[in-house]
Amino acid sequence: MSKVKFVLILLVIYGLYKGYEAFTDFEIGVSDRIAVLEESADFERQGEVIALMMYLGNPPRLNEHLLVKNETKCLDMKRIAEETSFAYYECAVVDANIRGGKIISINEELKVLE
């Protein structure tokens, strides 16, 4: 009888563990879906993001900007762009207005990444 109790206790513990895991995964999934819905609904927000910016002319004038997920990717893209173009490129943390996963306007350049 003690083996049956031991197995039942293990099953209850396993069930509690799986319930906890399902609950935490549900919360993470909801926040991810909210972010996707905000992007697809053309909801405009303001925040700090990493941007790859292209400057042209003399004096240099901001011509284009691109939202990038992380610093490493931005620096890799900057290196490749500088090898294939004569424009000046800069990776920076900027305060920007974002809509649909794209930068609409840059309000302020906060930090240049090197």
By CB atoms closer than 10 A (0-12, 13-18, 19+), residue 54 is: middle
Sign of the alpha-carbon torsion through 68, 71, 77, 81 = positive
Question: In this structure, are 109 and 59 located in the same domain?
Answer: yes
Round to whole Å and give the CA distance between 50 and 66. Answer: 9
Q: 0.75 exceeded by the pTM?
A: no
Question: In this structure, are 103 and 60 located in the same domain?
Answer: yes
Q: Give the pLDDT confidence score for residue 31 in this predicted structure.
A: 65
Q: Write out pLDDT tens, residues 31-51.
A: 667 667 766 666 788 989 999
Question: In this structure, are 52 and 21 located in the same domain?
Answer: no
Q: Give the pLDDT confidence score for residue 72 in this predicted structure.
A: 94
Angle at 51 between CA 46 and CA 77, to 5 degrees: 155
Question: In this structure, are 36 and 48 located in the same domain?
Answer: no
**Which residues of the chain are under the pLDDT cut of 50?**
none
Question: In this structure, are 5 and 50 located in the same domain?
Answer: no
Containing domain of residue 87, as a range?
44-113
Contact criterion met (CB below 8 Å) for 68 and 93: no
Round to whole Å and give the CA distance between 91 and 45. Answer: 21
Round to whole Å and give the CA distance between 81 and 13. Answer: 55
Look at the chain and report how many structural domains it folds into: 2
Q: Give the pLDDT confidence score for residue 26 in this predicted structure.
A: 67
Question: In this structure, are 54 and 14 located in the same domain?
Answer: no
